[in-house]
Amino acid sequence: MRDQKTSRRLLVAVAVAVVVAVGLGALAVTAASTDSPDRSASRLRPTDQAHAPTQAVLDEIVAQGTPGVIAQVRDAHGVWNGRAGVGDRGSGRARSPHDRFRIASVTKTFTATVLLKLEAEGKLSLDDSVARWLPGVVRGKGYRPGKITLRHLLNHTSGIFDYNMDEGFRARYAGDEFDRNRHVRWSPRELVDIALAHPPNFQPEQGSRPGKPGRWDYSDTNYILAGMVIERATGSTYARAVERRIIKPLGLRGTNVPGHSPKLPAPHATHYSTLFEDGPQAKERDVTEFSPTVAFSAGQLISTTGDVNTFLSKLLAGELLPPAQQRQLLDAVPVDGDKGHGGPDDVYGLGIRHFQLKEGCWAWGHGGMIPGSATRTLASADGRHVMTINRNGDWGEQKLEDAAVEAEFCADDAR
């Protein structure tokens, strides 16, 4: 990804050129919104024209093989919904702005927000050790749980191995093995134990600090442990904590914590995956249904583009957290490498990433990928300009997704 910045600029330029070339008549067909699909060019809204470069990139994402993509943008001009491709290969049904989908690691932003709220409620401190809240859980050669704090978990400076990097675990979800294991229920402790069979990547005191580069490694295990702490601190389930502190107060009617349920609530697109197989012969598989326990508090939430936009915009506007916790949320450390749906020049706060989209252009948010679903959500620092994009396929080049968000946030007249 270090050499993709030039490619990204070119993609945005090509996107703009495509829109100009096809003219407003064709744009009336392709510039997707919640309006009926038979809009004429004379009814094309100024908002659609403003987001035409973004729509052109969505079209290109589908042209390169993704089944379908949706995006919602909110800015000073209102709400715009873009879409391209299909929600289901068999029926040809189009993707809908109302689709629910697995938001994968965007869940981490919800999890971090709940922990910050618990600190504000006086139930815990982010400087508490993991050993205090989960005695005996983090164990194994090289691990020092008394030195690992909740803050280390949330900003990925704990050094704890990522269970998703365990070859045996990954093999259970590759190719035909997926169908044999899609309904397996994992406990959070089982996922943590898979990680702890490996030595730590580094010790927490070697981790990055604000303004000081150090060791950093994106690890889903950190957020499994964070969810376990939430349950211990509240005496209830992770699902209830998220519902009580985020979903219900914000009225996120399209968002839910599935727990053990493998189902996706309607309406939803079919989620397709190649399950770690590469090349032109890779088989597309329907992975819509599977046990979300495989991701727990690191990636199990289901939501919509509109709900994610509401959450992120309210969070960055300072409407969810008191000032002290808001400062901690955005107290970001340098990342080490480009792991975690971003680039090597980004910085990472507590469950939220500051993406350097290109030189001089930054946005806060998070990305996520889980079998069959790839999501990116980004917002301006004040939360007034926000965008969430979802693909119902987990392959394809990230640079096109990058181009879509750059078209939205990095234009000279960025809204």
- Collapsing DSSP to helix, strand or coil, 83 comes out as strand
Cβ atoms 350, 329 nearer than 8 A: yes
Q: What's the rounded Cα separation, in Å, for the pair 108 and 350?
A: 9
Contacts of 49 (CB under 8 A, 6+ apart): 24, 27, 31
Residues with Cβ within 8 Å of residue 166, at least 6 apart in sequence: 194, 195, 197, 198
Please report the beta strands in 243-352, taking only residues with DSSP state E, as ranges in sequence order: 272-273, 285-286, 302-303, 333-334, 347-348
**Three-state DSSP class for residue 157:** coil
Are 148 and 255 contacting, i.e. CB atoms less than 8 angstroms apart? no
Q: Which residues contact 129 (CB under 8 A, 6 or more apart)?
A: 145, 146, 147, 148, 149, 150
Longest dimension (CA), the chain: 68
- Long-range interactions of 126-132: CB distance < 8 A, separation 24+: 126/150, 126/151, 126/154, 126/328, 126/350, 127/151, 130/158, 130/225, 130/229
Q: Establish whether 236 is a catalytic residue.
A: no
Contact in structure between 302 and 103 (CB atoms under 8 Å): yes
The catalytically annotated residue of 7, 36, 40, 105 is 105
For residue 257 the two structure tokens come to 């914590």
Residues 6+ apart with CB under 8 A from 308: 103, 106, 255, 375, 377, 388
Dist. CA 110–CA 171, nearest whole Å: 28
Distances (CA, A) of 142 to 39, 137, 199, 373: 63, 14, 6, 35
Catalytic residue numbers?
Answer: 105
